[in-house]
Structure 1
Amino acid sequence: MQATRRLKHFAVAAAALASHSAVLAVNGAQPGGYGIKNAAMGGASIALPLDAEAAANNPAGLGHLPSSWTLGTQVFNGRSSADYVLPGNRLRNRQTEIAPEGGINWRLNSTWAVGLGIAGSGAGSDYGQQALPVPGAGEANTTLRVMELIPAAAWTPSPELSLGLGLNIAVQQFEAGGVIVPTPGGLFPVPGHGKQSASGAGLRAGLLWKPTQHWSVGLNLKSRTRMGKLKGYEQDLLAYSKGRLDIPAQYGIGLAWQPSERLTVAADWLRILWGDIQAMKDPNGFAWRNQPVLRLGAAWQLDERWTLRAGLSRNSRQIDSARAVQNLLVPSINQRAFTLGVSWQLDPKVEINLGYELNPRTTLNGTGASTGTSLTSKVQMVLLGYHHRF
């Protein structure tokens, strides 16, 4: 009977995960954190598994969680603008996206746990007008949506140590329109190829070690996810990478400290290897650099029902100021995020979580060949979720 109930929980959660569509993001094309409780702590998560979405942060974390599932909703609101190339040519972009998130964790015994996490990411813009007054050019817009399914397992040979391994099964959807490129004969509008999809696979691995009762150390590795071709785009926009837009590798280390029963503090250092994927090596393209990210957070348990969370994160911008012109359609320039959150424990099995993230208004002023162009962006996110133990 208990096994039947668990299978029902699994089926309900898996069905909800299947409807996922990615949201726009702030660390390049990635969100500040996965899992509402960790996201509300600035994204700090590598050494601090808090819910069933742990596979997206560190698969070893599954070994330190009870059997449970979590479902949530992210509401993303982004506003950006650009003073682009010509004096007085001002473009504005406003987008609101809603997307689910979640994960499932199932403890098989004291040594083994399995789970399924979901990680959404993406970037884009929709200016609703031509980037430049070029005959034949469409409205400037682009959309990249990525969904990563992460089936994972964790082995816990002792209470102090867990090792995790997972697959990274990714599906992406890409569309770009209104792209204008310089040619020897003048500016030329690139024809659109509509929405195209591709899939790919990679690996994730992690370690979680508790050297003392109050300290945890985590390591997280993610291989490059090699994606298939986006049909049509290998002819122009992604010709340098033969139509492929891979998901970058990344690695990170995390620390968590619990000096008392009520207070928990965590920190992560993460490096996202944007610059290593072929699409970013195009000398005429986006040219994103490898990006380090620092994430800090704290949680304070007020009583048995209420927990408050806060955090901040900081990254090194992956876009060089000399590439502001090329990055009009993906103005992912935010470098700071401030987060808040609260958890309400309704009963021993059910918890409601709420989070908020603010990436304050920031501007990138072009230099060199991009002098005269500036990009400005502000991002806010509201997160609401339900966590259930079974």
Structure 2
Amino acid sequence: MTKLKTPRFSGLAALCLAAAVPSVASATEGYFALAYGPAQRGVGGAGVAYSVDPMSAAINPANIADIGHQMTFGVEAFSPRRGFTATGAPPLPEGKVESGHEWFPIPNFGYNRPLANGGALNVMVYGNGGMNTSYPAVFNPYCGDGGGYGVFCAGKAGVDLMQLFASVGYGRKDGNFSWGIAPTVAVQRFSARGLNMFDQEGYTASPGKLTGNGYDFSTGIGLRAGIKYEINPQFTIGLSGQTRFKMSKFDKYAGLFEGNGSFDIPASVTAGVAFKPRSDLTVMLDYQKIFYSAIGAVGNPNTALPFGAPGGAGFGWDDVDVLRIGAEWQQSPDMTWRFGYAHATNPIGPEDVVLGVLAPGVVEHHISFGGAKKLNDRDTLDFAVNYVLPHKVKGPSFLYPDGSEVELEMKQISASIGWSRRF
């Protein structure tokens, strides 16, 4: 095993290790998904002030009051294409390296039922994951005197973070005002491998609990709530928020995550408007802010070694701002078309490229297209295709600023389909 001997090389190794943490669930807006159902994906994830099906409650629980009695199933085939190119930045191998594992299924289920008291009940289960990083055991000239294999000199390397959410929500509409609340349970699954060269005293607070320990699970609960107000038949405004999810610790990876394995889910807030210029057309505009910097494992400085210690190293992510624009056009009673665009700010700057090697979630521009085909009076088929434009972030390794270069790159494509039934 390659030893970390000099301060310059040690710091680089620690920073590369931090890259195992962020953006592995869904590198669309950090590790938040673009949307949680095909109807919302078709309009770029917009809809805080507009309801379509039971999954609309994932955007704003206030939508529960307007959905009626419905059930929906859906699945997304999500494909992130990611990798990096390094030049003169040990211990990263020279040249371009691409991650494997390019396709992941992400399911969703929702059920909405009006109640006798005028309110409505909503149940949802949906995934916020499907992306991991899996690098092959490529030849690495920086592994020992004669070279070795692996991005970090330990064979195949990668991380895997999956998230599952389940909520039971209640919503009500009084006049033009709607509100909703949805307590939500979250389950996370995580694993890391191939990071052995960092599992030593001085770089982790818990040697033996940093890599290669198989899957570990974390559970927690948070609260989502929202309001919506119909100003007139043409304009509706909406506001929703999600609290921080306090998650149980990843005990098997107490030497990787700050605070002995803590990896909470950040809070977020979304505001938006829906405008109907005519009866067959709805235009949506949403703004979302995700507070990544408040989570120690995400926002702490990456130089605050050792990993795993209270207040220890994170990866220095900034908060993310997302702007979404969507449109839904009803061509006929049986056919609806959807279009959308979303722009997310990139939390990884040129000074942080080394951190992004194992999780190059640098994409910004998202284009969406979809529709809904009414099969009969009760059943509707929804579909969507999303394309995330290729984006790169390039910068020097601050440990080897003279001539070193690390470039992260990613693009994404996904296709989703869903079925809804009205009762």
TM-score after normalising by structure 1: 0.88
Query: SS at the partner of 1:381?
Result: strand
Q: Using the TM superposition, give the Cα deviation of residue 318 of structure 1 relative to its aligned residue in structure 2, in angstroms.
A: 1.4
Q: In the superposition, relative to structure 1, how do residues 200 and 320 fare at CA in structure 2: closer, same or farther (>3 Å)?
A: same
Q: Using the TM superposition, give the Cα deviation of residue 200 of structure 1 relative to its aligned residue in structure 2, in angstroms.
A: 0.3
Unmatched segments (≥5 aa) in structure 1:
1-21
Alignment partner for residue 92 of structure 1, among 92, 95, 98?
98
- Name 1:3's counterpart in structure 2: none
Alignment partner for residue 224 of structure 1, among 233, 241, 244?
244
Is contact 1:23–1:99 with CA below 8 Å preserved after alignment? no
Query: SS at the partner of 2:398?
Result: helix
Alignment partner for residue 321 of structure 2, among 268, 292, 296?
292
- Name 2:78's counterpart in structure 1: 76
Quote the Cα distance in structure 2 between the aligned partners of 1:366 and 1:389. Answer: 52
Q: Using the TM superposition, give the Cα deviation of residue 33 of structure 1 relative to its aligned residue in structure 2, in angstroms.
A: 1.4
- Name 1:113's counterpart in structure 2: 120
Quote the Cα distance in structure 2 between the aligned partners of 1:259 and 1:386. Answer: 28
Give the aligned residue type for 1:363. Answer: K
Quote the Cα distance in structure 2 between the aligned partners of 1:92 and 1:131. Answer: 13
Decide which moves more: 199-208 or 105-114: 105-114
- Name 1:365's counterpart in structure 2: 394
- Name 1:167's counterpart in structure 2: 183
Q: Calculate percent identity across the aligned residue pairs.
A: 27
Q: In the superposition, relative to structure 1, how do residues 368 and 153 fare at CA in structure 2: closer, same or farther (>3 Å)?
A: same
Q: In the superposition, relative to structure 1, how do residues 79 and 230 fare at CA in structure 2: closer, same or farther (>3 Å)?
A: same
Give the aligned residue type for 1:91. Answer: V
Query: SS at the partner of 1:232?
Result: helix
Quote the Cα distance in structure 1 between the aligned partners of 2:133 and 2:95. Answer: 17
Q: CA RMSD in A?
A: 2.3
Q: Using the TM superposition, give the Cα deviation of residue 127 of structure 1 relative to its aligned residue in structure 2, in angstroms.
A: 1.3
Within 5 Å, give how 1:192-341 maps onto structure 2: 192-235=212-255, 237-238=256-257, 240-284=258-302, 285-341=314-370
- Name 2:6's counterpart in structure 1: none
- Name 2:17's counterpart in structure 1: none
Quote the Cα distance in structure 2 between the aligned partners of 1:363 and 1:71. Answer: 35
- Name 2:164's counterpart in structure 1: 147
Quote the Cα distance in structure 1 between the aligned partners of 2:156 and 2:288. Answer: 36
Quote the Cα distance in structure 2 between the aligned partners of 1:294 and 1:155. Answer: 27
Q: In the superposition, relative to structure 1, how do residues 149 and 191 fare at CA in structure 2: closer, same or farther (>3 Å)?
A: closer
Quote the Cα distance in structure 1 between the aligned partners of 2:250 and 2:166. Answer: 20
- Name 1:13's counterpart in structure 2: none
Is contact 2:366–2:388 with CA below 8 Å preserved after alignment? yes
Quote the Cα distance in structure 2 between the aligned partners of 1:101 and 1:248. Answer: 21
Quote the Cα distance in structure 2 between the aligned partners of 1:108 and 1:30. Answer: 31
Query: SS at the partner of 1:62?
Result: helix
Unmatched segments (≥5 aa) in structure 2:
1-23, 303-313
- Structure number with bigger Rg: 2
Quote the Cα distance in structure 2 between the aligned partners of 1:185 and 1:90. Answer: 30
Q: Using the TM superposition, give the Cα deviation of residue 185 of structure 1 relative to its aligned residue in structure 2, in angstroms.
A: 9.8
Is contact 1:55–1:116 with CA below 8 Å preserved after alignment? no
Q: Using the TM superposition, give the Cα deviation of residue 25 of structure 1 relative to its aligned residue in structure 2, in angstroms.
A: 3.9
Give the aligned residue type for 1:75. Answer: A
Query: SS at the partner of 2:277?
Result: coil
Q: Using the TM superposition, give the Cα deviation of residue 23 of structure 1 relative to its aligned residue in structure 2, in angstroms.
A: 6.3
TM-score after normalising by structure 2: 0.81
Alignment partner for residue 356 of structure 1, among 385, 399, 402?
385
- Which stretches of structure 1, 4 residues or longer, exceed 6 Å deviation after superposition? 182-186
Is contact 2:181–2:226 with CA below 8 Å preserved after alignment? yes
Q: In the superposition, relative to structure 1, how do residues 91 and 262 fare at CA in structure 2: closer, same or farther (>3 Å)?
A: same
